[in-house]
Structure 1
């Protein structure tokens, strides 16, 4: 936890917050902080600052807080991601959030097993928990927007044109001659398929919407590996 995230409900006064549960445990066991110590804090969807511990006991930590800078800007990206298998979903959400993705669509695809959509990790509270972990890691405060779309064709035909309007449209696909571009500055919509990739029909539907297929080289990567590689290539240093 590189950032202690606060929410509105934590405040007991305009400049005082009281924390318990997981955050209290982290302050005690990882930061090994005590009264008088200062921690880096952030207000969820707000600014970043510092919090001085006024009181610390087994039940709560009380911090005097002040905020003085904005969080880092999000990536100029809409990420279209075929739903990963549940075991990978948690890590992928954390990675995407930590890397600055602010708009994420989890979609269906032919190679996405139907059982994946039944996982409890798609519950709103569970997704939010993984996003918080990603924000804490990256010292960011702005929550991403996550949308679920269980039908591929209606999404691509009816919604995606508006989502991707006035952006560069890319689909990661190993069977193409075009390498992934590097260090682009324009708004981008990036589609990443499931394990095994999008099937040809799905790639063709995306191409009909204006997407260009790009590859990362001869190696076939897992989604959780391909995602940071793609974003690091497209937006280095952001």
Structure 2
């Protein structure tokens, strides 16, 4: 945990918070904080407006088995978000957790999970897609990368309505790249401007699905001949697409 993410309900006064959940456990067991120490904190931003200056530090006033009390000082902006909207054929639950955490850490602010032919229907009933479970993974990602802006997550259980209707807004903003082992062009590097990135299942899309994307003007791209796990491909593609300014 590189950042203690705070929520409005944690505040007991204007500048003091009291924590008694897993953040307390982590602060005692892993950070080993003591009274007088300073830790990085940030106030969670769940809004759609511009990011607020809600990163900062806090002084430890109390840390015992019952509570972690902090005096909070905020005033810094969170890091700039990725301009990539990430759409992924719904993976198995364990992979979904990795994608949410790692994608959030890289800066993704919009995740879209959709159905395709090679997605197991049972995945749509998994506890991993329940709102509380998704939120937990997003918070872990924010804690890792010292960010406060909570990403948005969408679930689309039907392939054609997602591809033909929900992706329209992305196509209006910029290109939509479909990553697939059958893609004939390499994924571009250091893309500028907003774009949509679509990943299929580990075995790739079936021919009908590829054809539908191409018929709608989307471009199939690849990372080479190797078949990668979804979480590996997502990180590799996002890093490749990041503008140089995001890596400075």
TM-score normalised by L of structure 1: 0.97
Q: 1:55 maps to which residue?
A: 62
Q: 1:24 maps to which residue?
A: 24
Q: 2:3 maps to which residue?
A: 3
Aligned: 1:175 with 2:179: no
Find runs of 4+ consecutive structure 1 residues off by over 2 angstroms.
Answer: none
Question: What is the CA deviation profile of residues 43-79 of structure 1, one whole-angstrom value per residue up to 9, with x for unaligned ones?
Answer: 0015110010112221101100011211011111211
* 1:114, distance to aligned residue in structure 2 (A): 0.5
Decide which of 95, 103, 109 is 1:96's aligned counterpart: 103
Q: 1:133 maps to which residue?
A: 140
* 1:196, distance to aligned residue in structure 2 (A): 0.3
Root mean square deviation of aligned Cα: 1.1
TM-score normalised by L of structure 2: 0.93
In the alignment, is the contact (CA less than 8 A) between 1:36 and 1:52 conserved in 2?
Answer: yes
Equivalent position SS for 2:136: helix
Unaligned runs of 5+ in 2: 46-51
Q: For residues 105 and 38 of structure 1, what CA distance do their matches in structure 2 show?
A: 37
Q: For residues 225 and 40 of structure 1, what CA distance do their matches in structure 2 show?
A: 29
Q: For residues 37 and 106 of structure 1, what CA distance do their matches in structure 2 show?
A: 41
Equivalent position SS for 1:146: strand
Q: How does 1:136-215 map to 2 (within 5 A)?
A: 136-215=143-222
Decide which of 218, 232, 243 is 1:225's aligned counterpart: 232
Q: For residues 173 and 56 of structure 2, what CA distance do their matches in structure 1 show?
A: 35
User: How many residues get paired?
Assistant: 238
Equivalent position SS for 1:141: coil
Q: 1:82 maps to which residue?
A: 89
Aligned: 1:117 with 2:135: no
* 1:236, distance to aligned residue in structure 2 (A): 5.0
Unaligned runs of 5+ in 1: none
Q: 2:49 maps to which residue?
A: none
Equivalent position SS for 1:30: helix
* 1:164, distance to aligned residue in structure 2 (A): 2.8
Q: For residues 151 and 11 of structure 2, what CA distance do their matches in structure 1 show?
A: 23
Equivalent position SS for 2:189: coil
